[in-house]
Structure 1
Amino acid sequence: MPHSALFCENWSFLPGFDPAWTTARQTGTPVALPHNAVDLPFDYFDEKCYQQAFTYQTTLEWQKRFAGREIWLRFDGAMANAQVYLNGTHLGGHPDGYTPFRIRLTDHLSDGENLITVMVDGSENPDIPPFGGQIDYLTYAGIYREVWLEQADPVSIDNVKIETPDPLAAEKTVHLRCLLANPQGGAVSGTCKVVLHDGAGTQIATAETELDDQGAALEFDGLAGLTLWSLDTPTLYRATITITGEGFTDTRTESFGFRAAEFTPDGFFLNGERVKLIGLNRHQSFPYVGYAMGREAQERDAEIVKHDLGCNIVRTSHYPQSKWFIEHCDRIGLLVLEEIPGWQHIGGEAWKDEAVKNVRRMIERDWNHPSIIMWGVRINESVDDDAFYARTNALAHELDTTRQTGGIRKHMHSTLLEDVYTFNDFVLGDFERPLANIARRGLRQREEVTGLSHPVPYLITEYNGHMFPTKIIDNELRQMEHVTRHLEVLDYAHGDPGISGCIGWCMFDYNTHADFGSGDRVCHHGVLSMFREPKFAAHAYSSQRDPSEKVVMEPVTHWARGERNIGGVFPLMILTNCDLVRMILPDGQSVDIRPDSEGFPHLPHPPAILRLGDVDENIIGKWGMSWPDVTFEGFVGDTRVATRKFSGAPVLTRLAVTPDRESFGADRQEMRVALRALDQLGNVTPFVDLPVTIAVAGAASLLGPDQITLRGGSAGFWLRSTGTPGDVRVTVSSPRFDPVVINLTTTAPEKEEMQ
C-alpha cells in the first residue's frame, strides 16, 4: 500500500544559495513548513527584500522499507522556480510557484543520511509567468505550502479523473480514468477496481477492469437515488480506486459531486436553475507571513466568503490557490472561478509555453472539484493574443470536457475565444472624470462591451477596487460612497438577466508593489481589512442573503455628530435584509425606515435609507443640540429580529480579544484572533489607535510582531500550533486596560494520509 506523510519538520533555512551547499548541510535557522522566506512588516517596506535566492535543507535517513519502493517528494507549492538536490545531485525543478510537483528520489538515495537541498528563487524572473511586467500583488518567496514524503510500489496511481456527464438525469453516470505512474517503464498488467461510496460510507457501486500501460477507464451507469451537489446541499461522493498487479498495489480515494453548471446568454444555471452569481476576488496572502498559511487558515477564508459575506462564488485571483481552500469550497458549497497565473503582461514564446503548461497543471490538479465551474485560461487583463489564447482554450477543453472557459479581460471588443465573455468593468469610476454625456451607472451593457451583434454568456469578474480605494479608517462619507458603489453594481447585475453575475474587487486588503496601492505597500481595495475585519461595504454583500439564514442590520454610521461634512448623519443608510428598521430616540420618538426599493429596484434587499427630508431636522441633526443615544430595531414581518444601540457619547470601555475558535489543529495549523476596541454598548470605536502587546505561551506561537496597533478600532493576529497537542495561553496587554487572557487548545488531528 502507498504511504504519504507530511515532511514539514526539521528543515533549516538560510538566505542565498551556493551549489557547494548541496553536498553538506549548512548552519541555518531551524524552520517548519509552510514557511515564508522573509516575514514583512504590515506596510511601508521594500518588497525587493525577498527577491533573491533562498535555501532549505533537511535530511532523510535511509530505511529498510524503502527497498524496492518508489520514493518521491511532493511539494504543494514553492515560490518560485524551485530546484531540488539530493546529496549534491540536481534531481529537477519546477518554475511555477502555484502548482504542485513531485521529485523522484528513488535511484539517488544511499544508505545512511541523505541531504535534501531546495533552492527557491524569489526574484521576478521574466521568463516565468506571472513575471516580466508589473504585478499588483506580491509573490512571497518560500516553500509556503506543505511537502509530503511519498512511498509507492514500482507502479502506482498518478492521478484520477472523474467526470459526471448528464448529472441531471434520474439515473446518473460516472466516467473515471485512472492514470499510472510507472517511472521504471515496462509493460503493466493487472486490475483496477473502483468502489463508489456516499458521504456516510455506504457503497453505491463497484466496477473492475484490466490495466494497460497508461491505466484504466471505468464507467458506472444507472446510478439512482443520488443527490446533486448544490450551494445549499454540497453533497460529495467518494471513489476508492485500487490497482493490483504483479509486484504492485496502490489505493487512492477521490471526492467528487454531481452538478450541472452552465453559463448561457440568459445567465448562469446550476442544476438547471438560474443563479445570480455574487462574489468577491480573493488573494491567498496574509499579514506578515505572505502565502505561508496552512489548512485551517485557508478553510476559514472560504467560510468568511460563504458564511460571513453571504457570497456564492469566489475568484482565485490571479493564480491557483491552496488545495485546502478549494477542498473546503467543495464541502461548504462555494463556487470557484480558478485561473492561471498572470497580470496583464504576456511574455515571449518560452513564457507563453510555460503559461500553457500552467493550464495543464491547474486543471490536472483540480478537475475533480465540483465547486470549480470555470477555468480562467487567459492572463488577467492582458491584450488580445489570439494564437496564444487559442492554445490555452483548446488545451482546457481537451483536458476537461465538462467545464466552460473564460478569459479575464479589461478591454472592450476583445476577441472571444473562450466560452464565456468575462470582463472587468470599472465604468462606475468614470463619472468623476470630465467626460461629456457620461451618466453614473453601475455596469456597462453587455453588447457595448463585447461589440458582438448576438448575446453571449457574460460574467463581470471585477469592479470597484482601485476605482475607489477605501481604508477601514476612512471617514464615514467615503465609506458610505464605497458601500453605494458596491450596491449599485449589485443592483445592476440583479436587474439584467443576461449578466451571469458579478465578482467584486476584492475580499480583503492586500500587500502589493510600490507601483500600486496607497504608497504604503497596501491596496486598500477590500471590503475587509487585511485582518479580515469588515468595512461597512462587507455588509453590502451579507445583507443580500435571506433573513432566514442570518439577519443583518448594519447602520452605515459611527453615530457621531461631527464625523460628516457639516455634521449629522443624513442620509442615514442601513444595510439590512429586514423589512423595516425603526429608529428610536430616548424621548420615545421613533421613525420607521424602509428599504429603498426605488433607488435599488433590483436588489433582493435594498438598503433602508433615511434622508433629512424624511424626518424633522429638529429631532436630530442640528449643531448645538444635544446628541442623543439611539436604538435601531429590525423587523421581518411584524417580528422584531434585531436590535442595535449606539451611544451619543461613546467611551472606550474594553478590548475584546476574540478567537475564531476555541481549539485548532496541533499539526502546524493557524487560527485568527480578532482585536476590537469597544465602547460601553459593544460597538467598535473606529478611531482608536490602541497599541497592544501579545504574549503566547504553550502549544502555539505568534505569527508576526508581538507589538501592533489597532487600525480603525480593530486588528488581529494569527497563532500557529507547534506540532504537539496542548494548552495555549494568550495575553494581550494595552496601556488603557488590564491584560486580557484567553485560553485555547490545540488538538491532535484525525490521522489522514495525503493521497
Structure 2
Amino acid sequence: MQQKIPLNYDWLYKPDFVPEDIKCTPEAAGYETVDLPHTNKMLPLNYFSETEYQFVSCYKKLLEIPEEWQEKSIFLEFEGVMLACDVYCNGILTGRHEGGYTPFTVELTGAVRFGEENILVVRVDSRELGGIPPFGNVVDYLTYGGIYREVWLYAAGPVRLERLWLDCPDPLEEVKTLRCACEITCDHAWEGILELTLFSPENSMAGNWEGKISLKPGTQKIPAALEGLTDISLWDTQHPVLYRAEAKLKEKESGSCVSLSSSRFGFRQARFTPEGFFLNGVKCKLIGLNRHQSWPYVGYAMPERIQRRDAQLLRRELGCNVVRTSHYPQSRHFLDACDELGLLVMEEIPGWQHIGDEDWKQHSLEELKAMITRDYNRPSIILWGVRINESQDDHSFYERTNALARAMDPGRQTGGTRYIQRSELLEDVYTYNDFTHDGGKTVFRPQKETTGLDRAVPLLVTESNGHMYPAKRFDQEARLTEHALRHLRVINESLGREDLAGGISWCAFDYNTHGSFGSGDKICYHGVFDMFRNPKYAAFAYASQKEPEKEPVLEPVTLVSRGEKDGGGTVPFYILTNCDYVRVYKNGKKVSDFYPRKEEFPHLKHPPVMIFHLMEEELLADFSEEDRRGLTTFLEKKVTEGTLTAMQQEDYIFLSGLAARYNREISGLIGMVIKSAGGWGETENNLVLEGWLGDRIVCRREVGESRYAAGIIARADDSVLYADGDTYDATRITVKAVDNMGNLLPFTQECVEIQLDGPARLLGPARFPLTGGVSSFWIRTVGKTGTVRIGVLGVESRTECTVDVK
C-alpha cells in the first residue's frame, strides 16, 4: 500500500544558494524556518522592482524515513515550484524540474538512509529563464518564486496504482457505463486482482467490478469498466454531483490490498457547437471572468482555504458559471472547489504572446501533458487551452498541441486564446479576446469578421474590457459607473448572441505586473475586485444577475454627493439589483418607483435601475397621471443626455404648458425640475432605497449627504481555522471605514495597525492604509490551538474580531 505524508512544516530557507549547499549538511545558520506554501520574497503591495524575487534560493528539510518503508520505493511530490529546481537528498542529485505550474515527482529510493537523519536540499531558481514557458519575452503578470505549493513524501511497493483515467461515454443515457484506465507501475511481473468500485455522494456503493490481471514490468494502463449503472445523477452547474471511483490491486490468494487509488468524478456531457455551449444537452450561456492566482505580499503562496475562496467568490457571490485559468494551470484546491461548486473551467498552458524555439515548444508540450494528466477527471473542466495566450499562429506547433490533447483526452474539446482576427483555427472552439467595446454601441465583432471563415464555428470570447477601461476602486464615481456598465454590456451581448457560447471577461482580481504594463505602480487595475478581493461596483454587475430568491442584491453605484459628479448634482445614478423595482425616498418623502432598464439591456435577467430624478411625489400631487408621466419622461431624457441645465426652446414650451395647466409660475416649475437633479444650495439629501420583489421589500439601503465617520469595522471570512492540517490554515480579515448609515467611506485617509494576540501570525505588513476606505489582510495558523484576538487600531478609532483555531 502507498503511504503518503505531508512535508510542509519546518523547512529551512535562505535567499541564496552556494555550491556547498549540495552537500546537504545539517547546518542551519543563515536559514530561517518556513512552512509551505512559501514565497521566496515577501513583497510590497506596489512600486517594487520585479527583479526582487528573481533569484536562486535554497530550501532544506531534515527528516527521518519510517523504518517500515525500507522495502518500498520512496518519492517526493512537488505540487508547484517556481520556476526551476534541483533536488538533492543526502548530497545526491535525485531530480530536476523546469516549469512552475504543474506537479512533478522525484524518486529518493537510492539516496535515503534509514535509522538516521536525512537531509533534503532544493535549489530553486526563480529567475525568468527564457527557455521555459511562459518566458522568452516580457509577460503581463508576475510569477513570484519559491516552493509555493505543497510537498508530499510517499512510499509505494513494487506494484502501484499511479492514477485513474475516468470516462463515461454515454452520460445522457438512462443506463450508463464508467470506463476506467488504471495506470499501474510494476517493478516486476505481477498477477493479481483489480477491483473497481463507484461510490455515491453519500458514500454508498453505486457499482463494482473485479477481474484478474497480469502485469509486465513498467507502466501500463489496464482497462476496467462498470456497466449497467442506473440512478446516476448528472453533474451540472446547479447540481454539481460528485461520485468517487476507487481502484484496488489485491493479492490473488489472500485478497489483501497491494495498492489503492481513488478519484472524484462527475457524470456530464459538455459540448461546444456553432449554436453555443451545451451542458448535458441543455444550452448554457457561459458568463464569467479570468483569474490570476496571486495575492498581495505573498504572490502565489496561499494554502487551500484561500485558494478555494476565490472559486466561492466567483460562483456564489458573483454568480459566474465559468472561469478561465489565465494563463497557466492553477492550484488543485481552486479546481477542487470548482468541481464542488459547479464552476466551469477553461484551463490553459503557460504563456503570454511569446513562442520560443524548439526546446521551448517541447517544454510547452510537457506542460500540456502534465496539465491534462493532473486534471483529466475533473467535471468542471470543459475546454483545454492549447495555444499560448494571444500568440501568433504557428501551424506546426499548434498541430502538435491539439494532437496531444486529443490523443490524451478524446472526450474534451480544445481551444486556444487569440487576439488576432482571422487566426488559423486548428482547435475545436474559436476562443478569442474581443476588446472591441470602447463604450460605444458595438460590443463584439460579428463572428465571420472575427474568424474570417465562411462557416459558423463554436465561438467563445475569452477576454473583454480589462485594459480597455482600467478602474481603481478609489476612482471617481463616473469612472467606476462606466466600468460597471461596460461589464453589463458585455454580459448582455454574450447572452443575446445566438452564435456565441458566452463571454469570459478580463478579469476577476487586480494583479501585480511588470513595469511595462499596468498603471506604473506594478499593478493592473483590471479586476472587478481589487487584489485584496474587495469588490468594485463592477463586481455587482455579475452579482445582480443572480436569482433574487437566492440572494437579493441592491447596490447603488453612487456616493450621493453633489460635488463628486462632473458639473455637480446627484443624478443620474444606477442601482445594480435583481429586484423587480426600487422605491426611492428622499429625506423621508417618497420620490418614485424606478424599474430595470430592459430597453437598454434587453438580454439581461436583471438590468440595472437608473435613478434619474429626486422630485418628491407630493410635488406633483395635482398633476394628472398623463402629465406626471410626461414630466418624468422629460426628466429622464434631459438627465440622461446631461442637458437639464441647457434647455432648448422646445423645453421651455413644454414646461410652460405644464405650468399654465396647473396655475404655477414657470420659474418655480423650472426650479423644481433643476432641483430634482440634486442641485446646489439645497439641504443635505438622504435617500432610502427599497428593493421590492412583487409586493414585499427584500432589501434596503440608506445613503446620503449627512454622512459622518462612524469608525472602523473588521470581519473575518472564517470564524474557525484548524491547526492540524496538511499545512497551515489561513483566513482573510477585512477592515472598513464606515459612516453612520453603514456605508463605506471611500475617501478616508485612515491608516490602521494590526495587533494579534493568540496562535496566528500575519501574512503581510502590520500597518497599512485603508485604500478607498477598505483593505484586507491575511492571518495564518502556527500549529497551536486557541483564540486569536485581532485588534485593529486606527487613527481615531479601534475595533477587533476573533478567530478560533482548533
What TM bracket, shorter-length normalisation? over 0.9
SS in 2 for 1:134: coil
Give, in whole Å, the separation in 2 of the partners of 1:125 and 1:587.
64
2:185 aligned with 1:181, yes or no? yes
Aligned to 1:226: 232
Aligned to 1:30: 33
Please give the residue correspondences for 1:290-305 in structure 2 after superposition, counting only pairs within 5 Å.
Answer: 290-305=299-314
Aligned to 2:195: 193
Which of 77, 90, 95 is the aligned partner of 2:93? 90
SS in 2 for 1:447: helix
Give, in whole Å, the separation in 1 of the partners of 2:588 and 2:224.
74
1:441 Cα deviation (Å)?
1.1
Aligned to 2:338: 329
1:445 Cα deviation (Å)?
1.2
Say if 1:547 and 1:578, in contact at 8 Å, map to a contact too: yes
Aligned to 2:660: none
SS in 2 for 1:220: strand
Please give the residue correspondences for 1:283-294 in structure 2 after superposition, counting only pairs within 5 Å.
Answer: 283-294=292-303
620-629 or 416-425: which moved more? 620-629
Give, in whole Å, the separation in 1 of the partners of 2:722 and 2:511.
26
SS in 1 for 2:503: strand
Aligned to 2:705: 648
Please give the residue correspondences for 1:301-700 in structure 2 after superposition, counting only pairs within 5 Å.
Answer: 301-429=310-438, 440-611=441-612, 613-614=635-636, 616-666=673-723, 667=725, 668-700=728-760
1:745 Cα deviation (Å)?
1.0
Say if 1:409 and 1:424, in contact at 8 Å, map to a contact too: yes
Aligned to 2:148: 144
Give, in whole Å, the separation in 1 of the partners of 2:129 and 2:214.
42
Higher Cα Rg, which structure: 2
Say if 2:559 and 2:704, in contact at 8 Å, map to a contact too: no
Say if 2:288 and 2:323, in contact at 8 Å, map to a contact too: yes
Give, in whole Å, the separation in 1 of the partners of 2:10 and 2:675.
70
1:459 Cα deviation (Å)?
0.4
Which of 710, 724, 737 is the aligned partner of 2:784? 724
1:553 Cα deviation (Å)?
1.0
Please give the residue correspondences for 1:699-718 in structure 2 after superposition, counting only pairs within 5 Å.
Answer: 699-718=759-778
Give, in whole Å, the separation in 1 of the partners of 2:695 and 2:733.
37
Q: Which amino acid aligns with 1:222?
A: G
1:498 Cα deviation (Å)?
1.2
Give, in whole Å, the separation in 2 of the partners of 1:156 and 1:733.
55
SS in 2 for 1:107: coil
TM-superposition CA deviations, 1:200-247 (whole Å, max 9, x none): 111011112214232421011110111000111110001111113489
Which of 125, 128, 132 is the aligned partner of 2:132? 128
The gaps in structure 1 that reach 5 residues or longer are: 432-438, 748-755
367-376 or 665-674: which moved more? 665-674
Say if 1:192 and 1:211, in contact at 8 Å, map to a contact too: no
Number of residues of Structure 1 aligned to a counterpart in Structure 2: 736
Which of 152, 158, 162 is the aligned partner of 1:158? 162
Give, in whole Å, the separation in 1 of the partners of 2:571 and 2:72.
73
Say if 1:77 and 1:100, in contact at 8 Å, map to a contact too: yes
1:559 Cα deviation (Å)?
1.2
Say if 2:435 and 2:468, in contact at 8 Å, map to a contact too: yes
Q: Which amino acid aligns with 2:572?
A: P
Aligned to 1:753: none
Say if 1:511 and 1:522, in contact at 8 Å, map to a contact too: yes
SS in 2 for 1:387: helix
1:62 Cα deviation (Å)?
3.7
1:197 Cα deviation (Å)?
0.7
SS in 2 for 1:189: strand
Q: Which amino acid aligns with 2:199?
A: H
SS in 1 for 2:589: coil
Which of 36, 57, 60 is the aligned partner of 2:60? 57
Give, in whole Å, the separation in 1 of the partners of 2:315 and 2:263.
24
2:259 aligned with 1:250, yes or no? yes
Q: TM-score, normalised by structure 2?
A: 0.90
Give, in whole Å, the separation in 2 of the partners of 1:663 and 1:535.
27
1:488 Cα deviation (Å)?
1.1
Give, in whole Å, the separation in 2 of the partners of 1:301 and 1:699.
25
SS in 1 for 2:110: helix
1:587 Cα deviation (Å)?
4.6
Give, in whole Å, the separation in 1 of the partners of 2:491 and 2:310.
22
Q: Which amino acid aligns with 1:403?
A: R
Give, in whole Å, the separation in 2 of the partners of 1:280 and 1:138.
19
Which of 168, 172, 175 is the aligned partner of 1:168? 172
Aligned to 2:619: none
Say if 1:156 and 1:248, in contact at 8 Å, map to a contact too: no
Say if 2:248 and 2:257, in contact at 8 Å, map to a contact too: no
Give, in whole Å, the separation in 2 of the partners of 1:58 and 1:455.
56
Q: TM-score, normalised by structure 1?
A: 0.96
1:669 Cα deviation (Å)?
1.2
SS in 2 for 1:617: helix
Give, in whole Å, the separation in 2 of the partners of 1:620 and 1:571.
8
1:471 Cα deviation (Å)?
0.1
Q: Which amino acid aligns with 1:601?
A: P
Say if 1:22 and 1:116, in contact at 8 Å, map to a contact too: no
TM-superposition CA deviations, 1:315-347 (whole Å, max 9, x none): 111000000110111111111111000001000
Give, in whole Å, the separation in 2 of the partners of 1:472 and 1:62.
51
Give, in whole Å, the separation in 2 of the partners of 1:576 and 1:558.
17
SS in 2 for 1:393: helix
TM-superposition CA deviations, 1:534-573 (whole Å, max 9, x none): 1000000011111112111111101111101011222211
Say if 2:88 and 2:121, in contact at 8 Å, map to a contact too: yes
Give, in whole Å, the separation in 1 of the partners of 2:743 and 2:281.
43
TM-superposition CA deviations, 1:709-744 (whole Å, max 9, x none): 11111100011111233221211111111x322221
Aligned to 1:743: 802
SS in 2 for 1:731: strand
Q: Which amino acid aligns with 1:688?
A: T
2:78 aligned with 1:75, yes or no? yes
Give, in whole Å, the separation in 2 of the partners of 1:8 and 1:275.
41
Aligned to 2:47: 44
1:428 Cα deviation (Å)?
1.1
Say if 1:154 and 1:248, in contact at 8 Å, map to a contact too: no
The gaps in structure 2 that reach 5 residues or longer are: 614-634, 640-672
Give, in whole Å, the separation in 2 of the partners of 1:188 and 1:221.
26
Q: Which amino acid aligns with 1:506?
A: C
2:298 aligned with 1:238, yes or no? no
Aligned to 1:17: 17
211-220 or 562-571: which moved more? 211-220
TM-superposition CA deviations, 1:322-374 (whole Å, max 9, x none): 00110111111111111000001000000001101111000000000101111
Give, in whole Å, the separation in 1 of the partners of 2:603 and 2:569.
29
1:25 Cα deviation (Å)?
3.4
Give, in whole Å, the separation in 1 of the partners of 2:355 and 2:471.
30
Give, in whole Å, the separation in 2 of the partners of 1:470 and 1:167.
44
Please give the residue correspondences for 1:196-211 in structure 2 after superposition, counting only pairs within 5 Å.
Answer: 196-209=198-211, 210-211=213-214
1:4 Cα deviation (Å)?
0.8
Say if 2:570 and 2:679, in contact at 8 Å, map to a contact too: no
Give, in whole Å, the separation in 2 of the partners of 1:587 and 1:368.
58
